[in-house]
Structure 1
Amino acid sequence: MNPSTLIGIVASVLLLGVVLFFSAEDPALFLDVPSLAIVLVGTMAATFISYPLREVVRIFGLIRTVLRNERLYTAHDIEDLVAISRIWMTGNIRAVEEALESVSNPFLKTGVQLVIDMTPEEDILDLLQWRISRLRAKEHAEAQLFRVMANYSPAFGMIGTLIGLVNLLFLLGDGDITSIGQHMALALMTTFYGVLLANLLFKPVAVKLERRTEQRVEVMNMVLQGISMMCQKRSPNLMRETLNSFMIDYQDEINDGSSRRPQAGAEAEAEAEA
């Protein structure tokens, strides 16, 4: 399981458990099946109306994607590109094709195959950029699905609250304060469930999917740069250093946080003070 997702799930469960245990007289009052059903069924119904069936049925698969620890083998892709580039520099196309058979990244494999086929660099880059744009659009739509559900669930929570308030108004004539209080609490439960699902499930999943897309696009752009350098027959060592820059996480591109100053600058300041 993805470590950050696991931490988030455990922390949210602990938070709700502690809050209900110490602040609620009876934690069981927060378990109301009809209220939860209004929010879940209403949200799913509105989602089915909004999206085609083939997209809605992917919800559970996308949740599994968020839960599992998906690795991007960036370093492995760099080594594959550099190794293939070294062979390509020798002009042995047969050896390049044999090395390409062991490559697992389909995006990288497509780019190298086009280079072997002597496709113009501009056409290769256009095709690969189109594939990047297609992946970004597809996965953005998947994340947007959960953002739409995050908008629907609080709305259906309010609908459940309105239903509860209507029932509450019929009890006002009886004057039973205890019964009125109980129905008022139940009326607010649907809003509680709607807000909880929106902010603890649907929105976090959407953000996680968006971040996943950013990481995947970054790897694809790295491969794109490597393919371009391969077309230009750049040095494999230069390719390695260039592609490694995609993996390095600089805190600051200009200042590394060190307090040291250049000697010339220190001497200039001393002269200025004198």
Structure 2
Amino acid sequence: MISFSTIIGITAGIGLFVLAIISSTDNYMMFLSLASAMMVVGSTFAASLISFSFMEVMHAIKAMFQTLSAGRTSQDHLHALVKRFVEFSRIYRDGGISSLEDCLTDKEKNDQSIGLGIELMGSGYKQQDIRVIMGDAMDSHWQRQSLEGKILNTMGVYAPGFGMVGTIVGLIIMLDNMGDDMANLGKGLALALITTLYGVLLANLLFKPTAAQVTEKQEQEYFRNQLITDGFVLLSEKKDALVMQDRLNAYIKPSKRYSVVDSDE
């Protein structure tokens, strides 16, 4: 599913910037410079590779593009999870672990958190062990994923700096080529400043906002996995549907909470 807020934000940010340029000057093509873009993007990428491993940087860039898609931890999704665990409790109490495994959908089988919970219950682990093992897996997954937001934030720090470097390089070239012709000073200075503009735009319209969204999605995922962990702990204790409902509804805002009574009606 597409994240409409991200699409609207990117469109509004770029659109307003372009509109401001077009309405202020007829020579808007001067804001386009392939060399400046290559200098800022290339230098930022190179510095990131020095700071982090190649695969980590690639995962961060992939996560940046994935911000165009919406997260899966909406209140409706959490509501559906609570409903599903209530169903799991009935199935497990009636048919045991084999019935529980058979009732899983393909999507649930491919879900790492749900798959781990089913595996632990099938291995005979008790509730305390399930909580510890799933909690450790959840924490280690969080630590691995949190690096993506850190890398994007680091790129947001590097980009304006390399924009300034590009401006300095442009000024040096401009002054060297200018000679006695002072008429070209303004035009040359404008071209030299484009790299700074690119660096600031990349940092504040791309790297830092996507880093914030990547971190937010990871926090939502962690919250979701906490619900799943508690769900399997309750399952291992063979709690009934009402207990399952009331305990897991704590993860959902009141207006979205699941009710066994309403669903039965």
TM-score by length of 2: 0.86
Change in 2 beyond 3 A, CA 1:101/1:179: closer
The CA deviation at 1:126 is 1.1
The one-letter amino acid of 2:245's match is: R
The CA deviation at 1:236 is 1.5
Note if 1:241 corresponds to 2:246. Answer: yes
The one-letter amino acid of 1:31's match is: L
1:134 corresponds, among 131, 140, 163, to 140
The one-letter amino acid of 1:64's match is: F
The one-letter amino acid of 1:58's match is: H
Change in 2 beyond 3 A, CA 1:98/1:171: closer
Note if 1:81 corresponds to 2:85. Answer: yes
Return the alpha-carbon distance in structure 2 between the equivalents of residues 94 and 48 of structure 1: 48
Are the equivalent residues in 1 in contact too, given 2:167–2:192 (CA < 8 A)?
Answer: yes
Are the equivalent residues in 1 in contact too, given 2:91–2:99 (CA < 8 A)?
Answer: yes
Where does 1:24-35 land on structure 2 (aligned, <5 Å)? 24-35=25-36
The CA deviation at 1:19 is 0.8
Q: What's the counterpart of residue 271 of structure 1?
A: none
Return the alpha-carbon distance in structure 2 between the equivalents of residues 92 and 219 of structure 1: 25
Deviations 1:186-237 (A, max 9, x none): 1111111100000001111101100100111111001111122223332211
Q: What's the counterpart of residue 18 of structure 1?
A: 19
Return the alpha-carbon distance in structure 1 between the equivalents of residues 254 and 46 of structure 2: 43
Change in 2 beyond 3 A, CA 1:141/1:118: same
Return the alpha-carbon distance in structure 1 between the equivalents of residues 203 and 33 of structure 2: 18
Q: Percent identity?
A: 30
Change in 2 beyond 3 A, CA 1:82/1:109: farther
Deviations 1:134-178 (A, max 9, x none): 12111110111111111111111010111122234335651x332
2:220 corresponds, among 215, 218, 230, to 215
The CA deviation at 1:70 is 3.9
Are the equivalent residues in 1 in contact too, given 2:78–2:224 (CA < 8 A)?
Answer: yes
Are the equivalent residues in 2 in contact too, given 1:156–1:194 (CA < 8 A)?
Answer: yes
The one-letter amino acid of 1:11's match is: A
Note if 1:39 corresponds to 2:45. Answer: no
- State which structure, 1 or 2, has the greater radius of gyration over its C-alpha atoms: 1
Are the equivalent residues in 2 in contact too, given 1:100–1:109 (CA < 8 A)?
Answer: no
Return the alpha-carbon distance in structure 2 between the equivalents of residues 226 and 93 of structure 1: 15
Deviations 1:67-86 (A, max 9, x none): 12343433332222211212
Are the equivalent residues in 2 in contact too, given 1:171–1:180 (CA < 8 A)?
Answer: no
The CA deviation at 1:53 is 1.7
Change in 2 beyond 3 A, CA 1:94/1:164: closer
Are the equivalent residues in 1 in contact too, given 2:178–2:184 (CA < 8 A)?
Answer: no
Q: RMSD of the alignment, in Å?
A: 2.1
Note if 1:155 corresponds to 2:154. Answer: no
Q: What's the counterpart of residue 68 of structure 1?
A: 69
Q: Secondary structure at the match of 1:67?
A: coil
Are the equivalent residues in 2 in contact too, given 1:161–1:191 (CA < 8 A)?
Answer: yes
Return the alpha-carbon distance in structure 2 between the equivalents of residues 208 and 95 of structure 1: 39
The CA deviation at 1:249 is 6.2
Return the alpha-carbon distance in structure 2 between the equivalents of residues 75 and 40 of structure 1: 42
Q: Secondary structure at the match of 2:81?
A: helix
Q: Secondary structure at the match of 1:57?
A: helix
Are the equivalent residues in 2 in contact too, given 1:226–1:239 (CA < 8 A)?
Answer: yes
Bigger proportion of residues as helix: 2
Return the alpha-carbon distance in structure 2 between the equivalents of residues 163 and 154 of structure 1: 14
Q: How many residues align?
A: 249
Listed as ranges, the gaps of 5+ residues in structure 2 are: 256-265
